[in-house]
Homo-oligomer: A and B are copies of this chain.
Amino acid sequence: MKQCIVTLDMEGVLTPEIWIAVAEKTGIPELRRTTRDEPDYDKLMRGRLAILAQHGLGLSHIQKVIGELRPLQGSKEFLDELRSMVPVVILSDTFEQFASPLLRQLGWPLLLCHRLVVENDRIINYALRVREQKQKAVAAFRQMNYYVIAAGDSYNDTKMLLEANSGILFRAPDNVKHEFPQFPTVETYPELLALIKKAIQEAQ
């Protein structure tokens, strides 16, 4: 049996979508826009940061808002059980400063993501650590001779799933399920845990 590692997307798999939650809690609907509305990620992010600046919302305010969020129901128990049987890494395109209030509640699992550039509490920019970081992390773990089992919920996880030895869609929208019929799809944590256990058994 080969050694396995599990990589999980964060938002939508373990936690709520952060920008959507921030939009709701701040009452700024423009912050709900996602890459579905604006495919150019850089344009989307610059727009988001401009909106925060216009409303005078600094990092500490946003962190307070995020601190009121809870991980998805059952996600902590799922993650604890998963970590007791296999190494787990969370791969997300969020930012360290946004994720930490949620990671604390999840018991500090390892998260690899990006970082905001902050000056005196003002979010002045964002810095992508590396492009296609989810896919690259999976490739690196394979290079380290791990059998990688990856799970995610959205289009931007599919490169990670394709790079992995075993890919699983969790609560994915229909268009993603339809476009990537090669990946098994599940809707609940017990189902996801069962599929991961099966993949571990089959790891060669």
Contact = CB atoms under 8 A, between A and B. Distances in A.
Nearest to A133: B144
How many copies of this chain does the complex contain?
2
Interface stretch (A10-18, A84-92, A182-190): A84-92
Given A130-B144, A144-B130, A83 B112 contact: no
Query: Which secondary structure dominates where chain A touches chain B?
Result: mixed
A107 B103 CA distance: 13
Contacts of A1: 115
A25 interface: no
Contacts of A136: 143-144
Contacts of A89: 110
A95 B111 CA distance: 23
A147 to B, nearest CB: 10
Contacts of A141: 140
Contact of A109 (B110, B114, B137): B110
A108 B86 CA distance: 10
A188 B7 CA distance: 33
Interface string A157-199: 0000000000000000000000000000000000000000000
A137 B141 CA distance: 8
B137 A112 contact: no
A174 to B, nearest CB: 32
Interface string A89-124: 100000010001000100111111011000000000
Interface of A: 1, 3, 5, 80, 83-84, 87-89, 96, 100, 104, 107-112, 114-115, 127, 129-130, 133, 136-137, 140-141, 143-146
